[in-house]
Amino acid sequence: TMAHSKALLVLENFIGGKFVPCSSYIDSYNPSTGDVYCRVPDSGKEEVEAAVKAAKDAFPIWSSKSPLERSQILNKLADLIEHELEAFAQAESKDQGKTIKFARTVDIPRAVYNFRFFASSILHHTTECTEMATMGCVHYTSRAPVGVAGLISPWNLPLYLLTWKIAPAIACGNTVVAKPSEMTSVTAWMMCKLLEKAGVPHGVVNVVFGTGAKAGEALVCHPDVPLISFTGSTLTAQRITEKSAPHCKRLSLELGGKNPAIVFDDADLTQCIPTTLRSSFANQGEICLCTSRIFVQRGIYSEFLKRFVAEAKKWKVGNPSDPTVDMGALISKEHLEKVRSYVKKAQAEGARVLCGEGVDSLALPTGNQKGYFMLPTIIAEVKDESCCMQEEIFGPVTCVVSFDTEEEVIGRANSVKYGLAATVWSSNVGRVHRVAQRLQSGLVWTNCWLVRDLNLPFGGMKASGIGREGAKDS
């Protein structure tokens, strides 16, 4: 209705330091209620063209600033976001469906830290030099910004992942055109409101909102954008690779995963069980690093399952803004249906659903009846060839299977197309390192999950990505 539409939040593109309205808009839903609450610009070639031009014009001045000047601006921006942490967290939770608890403790603090980290890191970049004393020569390398960087980010950790790209790009003197996911654009727009106050010159950071097919592709195909840094699905990355090939663009691709957790019979289950619950279900299982295949050694398999399922049943699912809730809503109705369809396929194949979807009932508060919720779901006795063990589900569904030997489990863990992250649980130090070395995975955690120093290179093997992000790697 008209009355209803008046209350909608309407976003605008941010180009050359100004908010610019767009000629058409996309509806954005609140995943925890199912209501349209926001309108996002449906940008295309024209808007991308204007943003690239603004970024190109800003490049000569921005790239000639000293690292210290840029560092101070990044720190100021971090302070300004931190000052509004609660407002950002509320907005992220409403837009994405994630719990307010997660947005407050993970998403927004990390977005702040991304700027602080690169503000500091840029001051310590050094280059290589070698001397050819006998020739009286010195060789050295120098690092230079590339120009306008195109940054494309997904919906699962909206501001967290977008700032993880913006911060290094501008710290190094590039200017950027960013395109957040059309499903989660609000916090990027809120950040734009702080750029001027932080001292970011006009045109250094431009944000164009819209779909991947229109706005994203216009950015990927633009001849004046020599670099695309993308985080999202493997399928989209293939399309980006094709579209950018004629321009020989530099690509950084952070993609999907099908991450295994390997639990040996000498694992400390008092640590392993709560951590593996988090690694399976945190942020509704919508983190690229989430565990979705759990291999448990035969001797402790039934004990593990019993305790794991009992703990999963204690997770509280519901209104994301309730600070006691552990799991919020999935991003969209379509995504919820897709995640559910995997559970049905597993059942049809003869696997056992031990808790969650289709087994337990979910009681939701009155205001959330139309939200996109499901319970943490654990499936056992799934075959390795099943799509549930091969494809990225990206929701609160995890498969548990048993294994006998170290050799066997390494082979089975590696038998998927992805290679992003893995977790190994054992109290045998030798085994932990031996297994980690042989897993085809960009990152291996042992006896922990999601602990990471941003200095380390981050990225995937196989279909999980190309390139690395982190300190100098970004």
Catalytic residues: 254
Nearest distance from C-beta of residue 290 to ligand NAD, angstroms: 9
3-state SS, residue 139: strand
Shortest gap between Cβ of 179 and ligand NAD (angstroms)? 6
Q: Exposed e or buried b for every residue in 249-269, given b needs 16+ CB within 10 A?
A: bebbbbbbbbbbbbbbeebeb
The gap between the terminal CA atoms of the chain, to the nearest Å, is 46
Alpha-carbon distance of 226 to 244, in angstroms, equals: 9
Q: How far apart are CA 277 and CA 316, in angstroms?
A: 13
Of 239 and 438, which CB lies nearer to ligand NAD in the complex structure?
Answer: 239
Radius of gyration, alpha carbons of the chain: 23
User: How far apart are the C-alpha atoms of 319 and 317, rounded to whole Å?
Assistant: 7
In the chain, how many H helices and how many E strands?
16, 22
Task: Report the residue number whose CB is nearest to ligand NAD.
Answer: 212
Contacting residues toward ligand NAD, per CB under 6 A: 152-156, 161, 179, 181-182, 211-213, 216-217, 220, 231-233, 236, 239-240, 254-257, 288, 392, 394, 420, 460, 465
Q: How far is the CB of 153 from ligand NAD (least distance, A)?
A: 6
Q: Which tokens hold the place of 94?
A: 């409403």
Residue 58 φ/ψ, nearest 5 degrees: -80, -15
Q: CB of residue 317 vs ligand NAD: minimum separation in angstroms?
A: 21
Nearer to ligand NAD, 232 or 376 (CB): 232
| Closer residue to ligand NAD in complex, CB, 41/460 | 460
H/E segment holding residue 273: helix 269-281
User: Least distance in Å: CB of 391 to ligand NAD?
Assistant: 10
Q: Residue 198 or 228: which CB sits closer to ligand NAD?
A: 228
If the CB atoms of residues 334 and 385 are measured against ligand NAD, the closer one turns out to be 334
Residue (152 or 339) nearer to ligand NAD, CB: 152
Q: Any bridge partners for residue 54, and if so which?
A: none
Q: Cα separation of 203 and 195, whole Å?
A: 10
Q: Compare residues 254 and 357 and give the one whose CB is closer to ligand NAD.
A: 254
Residue among 55 and 267 whose Cβ is closer to ligand NAD: 55
Q: How far is the CB of 336 from ligand NAD (least distance, A)?
A: 13
Q: How far is CA 302 from CA 169, 276, 353, 375, 401, in A?
A: 49, 16, 15, 22, 10
Q: Report how far residue 274's alpha carbon sits from residue 271's, in angstroms, rounded to the nearest whole number.
A: 6
Q: How far is the CB of 283 from ligand NAD (least distance, A)?
A: 10
Residue for token pair 């983190």 = 287
- In what order do the strands lie in the sheet containing 421-425? 352-355, 377-380, 397-403, 291-297, 259-263, 421-425, 443-446
CB of 371 to ligand NAD, least distance (A): 19
Q: Output phi, psi for 21, to 5 deg.
A: -70, 160
Structure tokens at 461: 């093997």
Compute the distance between CA of residue 194 and CA of residue 82 in angstroms, rounded to an integer.
11
Q: 267 φ, ψ to 5°? A: -75, 150
Tokens of 167: 């911060």
